[in-house]
Amino acid sequence: MPANRKLTMRQLRQMLRLSGGGTSIRDIALTLGVARSTVQDNLKRAAEAELVWPLPGEPTDEALAGKLFEGSGVKPGMRRRPEPNWADLVIELKKPGVTLLILGEGYRAIHPGGYSYSRYVAAKFMLRLGGMSQGSR
C-alpha cells in the first residue's frame, strides 16, 4: 500500500461515509487503497472535529479540510528542538579549518537536546544543492 500519501477530499468523504455505515477500519483501508494507520489517523481527526456522516449542510472541500486539518503542521517558533541559524552555518563553513563536525559539536554543547550531527550533514547536502542550482543559472 502506498506510504505517506494524502487522501483526496473525495476519499475523505468516502472514508467518513463508510465509517458511519459501520465498515471496519481494515475494510475502509482496503477500499481506499491506503494504509490502515492513514484511515485511523483521519478518523481520529474527524472525531476531534466532531464530524459524523452524513455531513451537516454538505460543506465544501475547503470547509471540510479546514475542520479536519485545522492546526496541523509545524507552526513557526513551535519546533521540537532549537533550530540552528542556517545562514550563519553557511558563513562559518566557508572559514578555513571549520568543519560541519566542529559546528555540530558546538551546537550540541549549547543545546544538548538539539539536533544530532546527521541533521547537520543533511543541512550541508541541502546547502550544496542550493548552491549548485544558483550557480548553474
Is 4 part of a structural domain of the chain? Answer: no
On whether residue 75 sits in a domain, the answer given is no
According to the model, what pLDDT value does residue 127 have? Answer: 59
pLDDT of residue 73: 53
Region of 19 please: left (phi>0), alpha (psi -120 to 50) or beta: alpha
pLDDT computed for residue 62 by the predictor:
82
Domain boundary at 19, 41, 68, which? Answer: 68
Phi-psi sector, 58: left (phi>0), alpha (psi -120 to 50), beta: left
In a domain, 112, yes or no: yes
pTM (2 d.p.) = 0.50
pLDDT digit string, tens, across residues 75-88: 555 566 777 777 78
Cα–Cα dist 124/112, whole Å: 20
The verdict on residue 62 lying in a domain is: yes
Report the pLDDT value the prediction gives residue 22, as an integer from 0 to 100. 92
Domain range for residue 116?
86-131
Q: Provide the pLDDT for residue 77.
A: 54
* pLDDT computed for residue 29 by the predictor: 93
- Assigned domain for 81 exists: no
| 39 close to 25: Cβ distance less than 8 angstroms | yes
Kindly give the parts of the chain with pLDDT less than 50. 1-4, 131-137
Total domains in the chain come to 2
Answer yes or no: do 14 and 46 share one domain.
Answer: yes
The predicted structure's pLDDT at residue 96: 93
Task: Tell whether 15 and 60 lie within a shared domain.
Answer: yes
The confidence score (pLDDT) of residue 31 equals 93
